[in-house]
Structure 1
Amino acid sequence: MPETVSSRGLDPLGFIEREGSHARVPHVFRPVVAAARDRVLDVFGARLDSAYLYGSIPRGTARVGRSDLDLVIVLRTEPSTADLDAALGLGQAVDKEFPEIDGVGTLLFSRARVLDERERYDIGWFVACLCTPLLGEDLAEYLPRYRPDSLLARETNGDLARYLPRWRQRIAAAGDSEEALRPLVRFMSRHLVRTGFTLVMPRWNGWTSDLREMAEVFAGYYPERAEQLRRAAGLGYEPVGDRTVLRSYVDDLGPWLADEYARVHGVKTPRPVGWE
């Protein structure tokens, strides 16, 4: 198969290299990161175990006014509903203050969950490989090195079939406004592209977080679905509020991906109730 990307994202031993760093954060976004760090400390204080950046800002690929700020907050105890509300409010405040970003996405976990054996190849891998330390102890020190193998593929994205009914409900409840549909198109597009990439990741033997690279890698193995994933990659960066796009995801591309994923890698190991 012809080479499609210049780097496979692996170290000389074949392990996935950690992506992102503070040195790669563009200068225009550094005040945003500093404000987010201070607000996380103010809101969670002594309950905070660690916090991380992930996504385009620490990778150095963020676009002013178009990219969001992505945070992971790890608490010493299980997050409560009040904690979730506080994280949402924190994100809204930072987003309102800085026009350089288009929203703030925050994931909230407990230290115990990040380090739980059942999450080793999902949340654990995510923290160890895709997150840049921002505050506190780096939990990657307690986690293994990771290879782009079938186990990692299964445990990261082998649950698409479980999400599709929820996606249909969200689409039905969203209405028809551009404002309501556009975030769904962005979210579902990104999810499907990442699922398509990790479907073929073990065969390609590498890692990338760039949606367009992901789609091109996928295209080398599933040319009959290539244009669908390429379009989804574009919509992951430049979403439109189009209900027909969403319907195509839950009626065609999504079910096909879920079936093929289960056939190739199996289904993700069930998690305890509440670990959503």
Structure 2
Amino acid sequence: MAGRGLDVEGTIAREGALSRVPAAFAGVVDAARARIADSFDDGRLHSAYIYGSIPRGTATPGLSDLDLLLALHTAPTEADRAAATAVEQALDRSFTQIDGVGILLFSARTLLSELERHDLGFFVACLCTPLLGDDLADQLPRYRPTPLLARETNGDLSRALAGWRRQAAEAHTDHQRAALSRLVARRIVRTGFTLIMPRWGGWTSDLTESAEVFGLYYPQRAGQMRRAATIGRTPSPSPDVLRELIDDLGPWLAAEYAAVHGEKAARP
């Protein structure tokens, strides 16, 4: 029976669809499609995808960001990255509905590789909505909420902590601290969810639901995870918030994750 983000066969259902895009963001999505097509019109683009709150239908005008992934026929070049940055900036300037634009660039070969089968492959197949080109999900398996999926999606939290500490030390403005708090909080909540995902037996990308489900299994950390979910939606410039996330909740979660699921396979 379908439920908890699963289809009738018990595999994780693709969570987004263009039909779920809120009316306020329809023009944003159309413009993103057109700008990507124009900027990558030399045959290098294999396919483009949108992910996050906009295709899930939960985006809030003025607060939500636009998240895109481009699959290229070959490894991204500096010219590709410059083109993507130009698209990001143009879209961000053109639409007040969105608060920032992010474009990920990968080769189709990387996204389909065995090493990325349960990380980037899962991301494309289940969390991304096709926007342009042939859908790579057709070449990927169906996924279940397994310990392997947990390990390969978020089993590298410990590696992120040192970088976040460095960024926190170098953040000198409220804007920088708030942006970092959002990034860290979202990653921690999603890691907290995938820690318990195999036991819960389902999938969600909703921060509030993720924190609530986590709290069922780790009540002693439930309050912290709920606060992290709030920060993921409404960032804070408070240094105390960053300290709690990076120096307390984060290290505990990384250690618990490694003990339960092991560490993610190393990338080159």
| TM-score higher than 0.5 | yes
Write the letter of the residue equivalent to 1:141.
D
- Give 1:268's aligned residue: 264
C-alpha distance in 1 between matches for 2:73 and 2:190? 30
- Determine which of 18, 30, 33 is the counterpart of 2:26: 30
C-alpha distance in 1 between matches for 2:96 and 2:181? 22
Residue 148 of structure 2 corresponds to residue 151 of structure 1 = yes
> How many residues matched?
266
C-alpha offsets along residues 130-178 of structure 1, whole Å, 9 cap, x if unaligned?
Answer: 0000000100000000000100000000000111111111111111x21
- Determine which of 225, 228, 246 is the counterpart of 1:232: 228
Write the letter of the residue equivalent to 1:193.
V
- Determine which of 62, 70, 73 is the counterpart of 1:73: 70
Residue 83 of structure 2 corresponds to residue 86 of structure 1 = yes
Offset, 1:82: 2.7
For the residue of structure 2 that corresponds to 1:10, the secondary structure is coil
C-alpha offsets along residues 105-148 of structure 1, whole Å, 9 cap, x if unaligned?
Answer: 11111001000000000000000000000000100000000000
- Give 1:116's aligned residue: 113
Write the letter of the residue equivalent to 2:40.
F
TM-score by length of 2: 0.97
Structure 1 unaligned residues grouped into runs of 5+: 1-5
- Determine which of 136, 139, 142 is the counterpart of 2:136: 139
C-alpha distance in 2 between matches for 1:267 and 1:81? 31
Alpha carbons 2:185, 2:231 under 8 Å: kept: yes
1:212-231 aligned at under 5 Å gives the runs 212-231=208-227
Offset, 1:7: 4.3
- Give 2:122's aligned residue: 125
Deviates more, 1:100-109 or 1:75-84: 75-84
C-alpha offsets along residues 179-206 of structure 1, whole Å, 9 cap, x if unaligned?
Answer: 1111111110000000000000000000
- Give 2:192's aligned residue: 196
C-alpha distance in 2 between matches for 1:69 and 1:251? 29
Offset, 1:11: 1.0
Taking every aligned residue pair, what percent have the same amino acid on both sides?
Answer: 60
Residue 22 of structure 2 corresponds to residue 9 of structure 1 = no
TM-score by length of 1: 0.95
C-alpha distance in 2 between matches for 1:91 and 1:234? 26
Offset, 1:61: 0.5
- Give 2:243's aligned residue: 247
Structure 2 unaligned residues grouped into runs of 5+: none
C-alpha distance in 2 between matches for 1:138 and 1:223? 40
Alpha carbons 2:121, 2:140 under 8 Å: kept: yes
